Amino acid sequence: MEDLRQWLAKADELGELATLRGIPWDLDIGVITELAGRQLEKPAILFDDIPGYPSGHRILVNAWGSRNRFAATADLPLGLTMTGMVEEWRRRSKEMKLLPPRVVGGGPVLENTDVGEEVDVLKFPVPKWHEQDGGRYIGTGDVIITKGPDDDWVNLGTYRVMVHDRNHVGLAIEKGHHGRWHMDEWFAKGEPMPMAIAIGMDPLLFLVGASELPWGMGEYEYAGATRGEPVDVVRGPITGLPIPATAEIVLEGFVDPEERRLEGPFGEYIGYYGAGIRSLPVLKVEAVHYRNNPIILGSPPLRPTDSQWYYRQVLKAALLWDALEDAGVPDVAGVWCHSVGNFFQVVSVKQRYPGHAKQAARIACQCFVSLQAGRFTVVVDDDIDVADLDEVLWAMCTRVDPDRDIEILKDCLSNPLDPMITPERKNNPTLSRVIVDATRPYEWRDRFPEVVASSPELKQQVLGRWGEKLQGIV
């Protein structure tokens, strides 16, 4: 799927697209998004005929709120389990070759362009998503396109974007993110930073932009490799940055190293208004490019569980699994990142030696994928389904001696959004992290009590004898 409109046609084909008309942008759309997004397997919702705006100026929410829609977006087979999707993504990622974006002379994103005094980002139906938000946020399902002053590597990252006025938007790009590293490089030179913000694009670009790819790996290249053909881009007329040729809306401009405005509060993915109101950098929008009848892709964070966040964990879990293997941890059997505030991740291992489980836990909670998350990292045996929170809690309750199996690591990077960071420490956020070894004790694992469960072999025998009678029962 090359753009958001092809994706909409696919969602409709799956029977998973609902259209709502006449819903106001001021909180009503946000509340409906919350009601749908707090549950799994609800349809994607397309809002049209929004009061005060032309018909056709639309907003799409809950795009990845079902297993089928996520699989279609990521080009995965339908019907896989969560861990099955992680394993399939990893298998494919090892085989694919990065494809640079293809620069083209034009595209639908340039159907309309407003510059200078014509610029008004509120000509689009930007929602107020949460009740206590400090304003309207045009960037939630976005990718922000940046590069450093001294190299050609282009980064795509998903960061929130608040509307200040018709041609200024606020940027919350936290420490540890690649977009922030680029910003620091420009500001160190005392130069304004060129930036483009795509709002509404091929949803695969959003999924990749919101993931934790390593420094130096381009999201355009990764997305191209994932779908098997290059992403078409055009050079932004203002910044020269490559922007998606089929994007719905793109803002272009520069971030002044000195200008700051108050940003927030905003309802965040951790489930709180944690960062409060801060003085943050501002993009002066010098041009807006947009398609006819443009669509805002909305992905506002919700209090967990958030269905879109839940399915997006497939990519994060795959990257975390890769990071563990790259660090030399053997026999990793599964990885899952639970969506309870992005702070709880589980790794399963087939134990090979003393300390294997704690080695996996320490690396998992300190690698780049978990740089601002991973407050709780639990390692379990390979008989535990890492995506089943009940199984994980059972292992924690029955295979953990708190004195020997729980370890606290101090002074780890956190995030200003973290509600446990005091207001005085928002600029230098660090907290402790916990690792939990919820595996059978290695030194006497062979004498650990047997689990009360039928063996896989016996289950298959019974299902083979009685499968037809058990349809719809088990």
| Better-predicted residue by pLDDT, 398 or 315 | 398
Please report the beta strands in 298-361, taking only residues with DSSP state E, as ranges in sequence order.
332-338, 344-349
DSSP conformation letters of 196-251? EEEES--HHHHHHHTS-PPTT--HHHHHHHHHTSPPEEEE-TTT--EEETT-SEEE
Alpha carbon distance 337, 320 (integer Å) = 9
pLDDT confidence band for 213 (50 / 70 / 90): confident
Percent of the chain with pLDDT over 70: 100
Alpha carbon distance 294, 110 (integer Å) = 12
pLDDT confidence band for 372 (50 / 70 / 90): confident
pLDDT confidence band for 149 (50 / 70 / 90): very high
Using the structure block, give the residue that is written with the tokens 């409906």.
32
SS3 466: helix
Overall average pLDDT of the 320-346 stretch: 90
Type of residue numbered 124:
F
Q: What six digits make up the tokens of 132?
A: 């206590």
pLDDT score of 341: 60
In this structure, the strands spanning 44-48 and 17-21 are parallel
Q: What six digits make up the tokens of 94?
A: 């090892």
Residue 288 pairs in a beta bridge with 114, 251
Helix (H) or strand (E) holding 12: helix 4-13
pLDDT score of 424: 82
Type of residue numbered 4:
L
- How far is CA 103 from its chain centroid? 26
Phi, psi of 60 (to 5 degrees): -110, 130
pLDDT score of 239: 97
Overall average pLDDT of the 409-435 stretch: 86
Nearest to 295 by CA among 47, 15, 26, 1: 47
SS3 463: helix
Alpha carbon distance 238, 433 (integer Å) = 44
Domains of the chain, start order: 4-297 (2.30.110.10), 327-447 (3.40.1670.10)
pLDDT digits (tens, 9 = 90+) for 440-462: 999 999 999 999 888 889 999 99
Would you call 12 exposed, middle or buried from its count of C-beta atoms within 10 A (0-12, 13-18, 19+)? middle
Overall average pLDDT of the 215-226 stretch: 90
Determine the Cα angle at 314 with ends 74 and 294, to 5°: 45
Interacting residues of 279 by C-beta distance below 8 A, sequence separation 6+: 260, 261, 262, 263
pLDDT score of 228: 87
* 81 cis-preceded (ω within 30 degrees of 0): no
pLDDT score of 79: 85
User: Which of the 8 DSSP states describes residue 90?
Assistant: H
Helix (H) or strand (E) holding 337: strand 332-338
419-426 long-range contacts (CB < 8 A, ≥24 apart) are 419/270, 419/272, 419/274, 421/274, 423/276, 426/275, 426/276, 426/278
Using the structure block, give the residue that is written with the tokens 């006819």.
292
pLDDT score of 340: 76
pLDDT confidence band for 429 (50 / 70 / 90): confident
Average pLDDT, the chain: 92
pLDDT surpasses 80 at 342: no
User: Which of the 8 DSSP states describes residue 386?
Assistant: T
pLDDT confidence band for 352 (50 / 70 / 90): very high
Alpha carbon distance 263, 280 (integer Å) = 6
Nearest to 146 by CA among 241, 222, 53, 64: 241
pLDDT digits (tens, 9 = 90+) for 23-78: 999 999 999 999 999 888 999 999 999 999 999 999 999 998 898 999 998 888 88
Q: Model's pTM, two decimal places?
A: 0.86
Alpha carbon distance 33, 307 (integer Å) = 11
Nearest to 270 by CA among 313, 298, 314, 303: 303
